[in-house]
A and B are shown apart, each in its own frame.
Chain A
Amino acid sequence: MKASKSLLSIILIVILVMSFTAMALAQDLDIIPIKVRCRAKPPMEDWRGLNFLIAEQSLNADLEAVGDPRRVKVEIIQDNLDWGEYITEFVLGYGAGESPDIWLTGHEYIGTQAEAGRIIALDGIIEEFPIYNLVFDTLWDCTKYKGEIWGVPQDAEARPLYWNKTLLKKLGWSDGEIAALPGKIEKGEFTLYDMLETAKQAVDKGVVESGNGFWTRPKNGPDFTPFYYAFSGETIDPATGKLVFDKTAGLKYYGFFYDAAQKYGSMGCLGLDWSTAWHPGVTSKVLFWVGGTWQWAEWAEKFLKDLGGEAYMWENFGFGLIPAAEKGGKPNSLTHPLAYLVSSQCKYPDLAVALIAKVTNYGPNTRHAIASTHLGILKGQTEYKFYKGSRLLSEALYMLDYTTFLPNNPNWGPYSTVTYEALAAVVAGEFTSQEAVDFVVEGLNRELGDKVIIK
C-alpha cells in the first residue's frame, strides 16, 4: 500500500515536471505573424498566396531544427483588385502603420515605394538564401532601383499577338501558312503593317466586322509599350534614370494606331469592359489581338470551358511575338514580372525573406506557372518534370529572348496616363499622329517637368 502510494507520488511528480517543462518550452516559442498581400485572379493565380501556407510549415520546421524559438504564422490576403486601388491600399495602409509584411506587386512600382521608404532593400539578406541564385538575371534587373535589389521576382510572362486560325482560313490562308506565321514574325518577315493589311482584308471580305481586325486591351496598361518599342521608342535614359519620350518614334507609334483605327478597320475595343473586350477576342469575332500568356488559362476557364477549354484554344488560336515595324526588323514582347516586396514596417524581414525563398523554388513556382500560364522565373525550370507538362509554357518560352520591360521609375504612372490619352484620341480620330505627339510633349512637360527627357 505504502509502495503504491510512493509510486503514485513519483508518477504525479514526473507528470508535473513534464507539464511545466512543456509549458516553459511552449512559452519560449515566439509566434511571428507574417501578413502576405497578393493580387490574384481566382482560381488561376491562387498559388501566389497559397504557396505561403506550405512554406510556413517548411520554414517552421527549419527554425525548429536550428533551435530558433521563433515560429511564423502566415496570414494571406488575396483578391483581384484593380492595380490602382491595390497600390492605394498599400500606401494608405502603410500610412496607418498596418502595411502587409510581404507585398506582391508589379516591378514598376518599386521606384515609387523605394523613394518613399515604404519597402526595404534586400541586398545582404537574400545572399543568405542560395536558392535565389536560380532566378534569371534579367528578372533581378527588373527589381533593381538605384543599384539595389528591392524585390524577389514572382513570375514572368510574354504578351503575344494572338490570332484566330479559323478566321485566317476563311480569309484563304492554308494550314501551312498559319503554322509558319510565328516563324515569319520572328524573322521580321511579317510586320505590324502586314498584320493591319490582313485585318483589313478580313473586314473587306466580311470575315470580321469593321473595327474587329485587330484589338488591344480596352484600357491603359503595359500592352501598348511594346508597340512604341517596335518603332524604336525609348522609355528610360540609362545614364540619368529619367523617363524618355522620343518624338520620332512617337509619331510612328501614334501613326500606326491612327491607321489601324481609321484606315484598316481595327481597334474597336477601347473603352469596353474587360469581359466585353476579351469575349469577342476569343469567340471568333476578332482576327488579331494582344493579350498575355496568363490569359490563355483565363480564357480557357472563363469563356471557352464549354467548347473544350485549352484543347479548343490550341485548335483555333495561334500566337507569336509583336511583329517588327519594318521588314527585317526585330519583333518583341513585354514581360511584366511581379515581385515580392518587403515592407519597411515588417519587424522580421529575415523571416519574410526566408518565406519568400521557400516559394521561390521549382515546385511552388511551377504550380503557379501551370495553373496561371505564367512563364517560369528559375534557371533550369524548363527541364523540371512538371513544368514540361505545360505545352503553352514550353511553346511561349522563346519569347523571353525578345522580351522588353516597363521602366522602373516613380513617374511612370503620369507618363503612361498622358501617352495613353493621346493613343485613345488617335484611335477615336480626334487627334492626328502629330497632334498626339504635341499633346504628349505638352502633357509630359506639364506633369513631369524636368523629370522627363523629350528627344
Chain B
Amino acid sequence: MSNNFQLERERSSLSSFPDTKSLFSKLKSSLLPYTFLTPTLVVVTLFFFIPLVMVFILSFTNLDMTNFGILKWWQPANWTLDNYVKIFTNRFFPRILNNTLIYVSMTLIFFNVGMALVIALITTNINRRVGFAFRLIWLMCRLTPVVVYIMMWKALAGPAPMGVINKHILGPLGIGTGEYLLNTNPWLFIILVNGFIGASFGMIIFSSAIEAIPKDYMIASKVDGASTWQTIRYITIPMIRWPLLFVTTYQTLSLLTSFEQIMLLTDGGPGLYETEVWSLTAYHRAFTSYFGNTQWGYGSAWAVILVIIGIVMAIVYLRVFKFDELIQEPKIDQL
C-alpha cells in the first residue's frame, strides 16, 4: 500500500516538469537502447549482412579465377541460375547431401546433445568436485588448437606400427591388419573427432541448467518414490527444455557449416566424395583447386543453399520445441 502511494508521488512530481524536458527525456530514453545496439549493428552489418548479400549475388554469377577483375558481377545482366542447375544436376549431389545428413545427425544425436546430456546428468549427480574435474578434462578437446587436435587423432589412427590404436589396442587383440584407420573407418573418426569437441558445449549448458533446477522438485520426487530414470524423464528433461532447444538448434547449425576438422582429417576422402559434406564442397569449389580454377560463384551457390537449409532447420526446431510457449512469462508471475 505504501509502495503505491510512493509511486503516485513520483508520477505527480515527474508530471510537474516542463513539456520540453519531458520530450527530451522521452527522446533520450527511446534512443538510448539503439545507441547501445549500434556497435553490434555495425559489426553484424559489415561482417555478416553485407557478405551474405554479396554471397547471394555471387551465387548467380560465374565469377572465378579466370574472370576476377573483369566480370562485373554486380550487374544483373551477368546473373543466371546456371550454378544452381549445376548443383542439382551434379552426379555427386545426392552423396554430398547424404554425407551431410549422416554427419550432422550422428554427431548431434550421439555426442553434441546425447553425450552432452549424459555427461551433464552424471557429473551433476556425483561428488561436485569430481564432476567439475571431469567436465574440465572433457573441455581439453575444445581448448586444444584444432590442427594439433587433428594431428593427435591422425597419430591415433595411423597404420601399424606407428598408429597408437593399431599398436596398443587392435594389434594385441588380433583385430585388423594394421591398416590406416582413417581409410578403413573414416566416418567413425569424423564423428568421434567432432563429437568430443561438440559434446563439451552442451555439457556446460546442461550442467548449469540441471544445477539451477530447485532441489525441492528432486526431493519431492524421491519422497513420492520416483526412480532415477523417472526423475530424469519427468522432472529434469522438462525443466531443461529451453537449453535443449538452444543446444540442438545451435549445434545443428554449427555442424551444418563446420568442415575444418573433416578437411584436416580426410579432406572429403579417402574415396571419391566419401566424407565430403556440404560446407566442405562449398569451400572446395570456392577456394581450392589443384590447377587454381577456384569458382567463387559456384561455391557461393553451394553456400547459399546451406544457409537456406539452416534457416529451415531453425524454424522446424522452433516449432517442434514450441518456442513461443518457452519464452512466455511463467504463469506464476502473471497472477
Contacts and interface: CB of A to CB of B under 8 A. Distances in A.
Interface of A: 82-88, 91-92, 94-95, 108-109, 112, 115-118, 219-221, 270-272, 276, 410-414, 416-417, 421, 424-425, 428, 430, 439, 442, 446-447
Nearest to B159: A276
Given A84-B292, A87-B292, A109-B292, A272 B270 contact: yes
Contact of B289 (A272, A417, A446): A417
B86 interface: yes
Main secondary structure of the interface of A (DSSP, over half): helix
Contact of A88 (B70, B183, B272, B287): B287
Contacts of A421: 92, 272
Contacts, number: 95
Given A271-B269, A424-B271, A413 B69 contact: no
Give the 7 A-B CB pairs with smallest separation, nearest first.
A413-B293, A87-B292, A271-B269, A271-B270, A413-B291, A424-B272, A220-B290
Given A116-B70, A414-B293, A417-B289, A88 B91 contact: no
A112 B65 contact: yes
Given A271-B183, A421-B272, A428-B271, A83 B68 contact: no
Contacts of A411: 66, 293
A441 to B, nearest CB: 12
Interface in B105-160: none
A95 B69 contact: yes
Interface string B83-102: 00010010110000000000
A444 B325 CA distance: 53
A351 B274 CA distance: 50
Given A82-B288, A109-B292, A413 B272 contact: no
B201 interface: no
Given A82-B290, A413-B293, A446-B86, 17 more contacts: A83-B290, A88-B65, A91-B65, A91-B69, A95-B68, A108-B291, A109-B291, A115-B66, A116-B67, A271-B266, A271-B274, A272-B183, A411-B66, A413-B291, A414-B293, A430-B271, A430-B272
17 contacts: A82-B290, A83-B291, A91-B65, A94-B69, A95-B69, A118-B69, A220-B290, A220-B291, A270-B270, A271-B183, A412-B291, A413-B289, A413-B293, A414-B293, A416-B291, A428-B271, A430-B271
A411 B290 CA distance: 13
Nearest to B91: A439
A444 B65 CA distance: 18
A417 B92 CA distance: 14
Contacts of A442: 91
A424 B91 CA distance: 14
A397 B164 CA distance: 45
B180 interface: yes
A109 B292 CA distance: 8
Contacts of B295: 414
Contacts of B89: 446
B294 interface: yes
A447 B86 CA distance: 8
Contact of B180 (A115, A276, A447): A276
Nearest to A410: B66
Contacts of A446: 86, 89
Contacts of B65: 87-88, 91, 112, 413
A280 B318 CA distance: 53
Contacts of B92: 421
Nearest to A118: B69
A302 B31 CA distance: 66
B292 A83 contact: yes
Contact of A116 (B69, B91, B290): B69
B180 A84 contact: no
Nearest to A439: B91
A227 to B, nearest CB: 17
B238 to A, nearest CB: 47
A112 B86 contact: no
B154 to A, nearest CB: 9
A412 B292 CA distance: 10
Contacts of A430: 271-272
A91 B68 CA distance: 8
Contacts of B292: 83-84, 86-88, 109, 112, 413
B270 A84 contact: no
A88 B286 CA distance: 10
Interface in B30-78: 65-70
Contacts of A424: 271-272
Contacts of B183: 271-272
B291 A428 contact: no
A271 B272 CA distance: 8
A366 B77 CA distance: 53
Nearest to A85: B288
B177 to A, nearest CB: 9
Given A272-B270, A446-B86, A112 B290 contact: no
Contacts of A413: 65-66, 289-293
B289 A425 contact: no
Contacts of B293: 411-414, 416-417
Contacts of A271: 183, 266, 269-271, 274
A221 B291 CA distance: 8
A148 to B, nearest CB: 18
A425 B272 contact: yes
Nearest to A86: B292
Contacts of B180: 276
A447 B289 CA distance: 15
A84 B271 contact: no
Contacts of A95: 68-69
Interface in B265-309: 266, 269-272, 274, 287-295
A442 B91 CA distance: 10
Residue from B266, B272, B288, B292 whose CB has the most chain A CB atoms within 10 Å: B292
A413 B290 CA distance: 8
Nearest to B154: A273
Contacts of B69: 91, 94-95, 116-118
B271 to A, nearest CB: 5
A91 B292 CA distance: 10
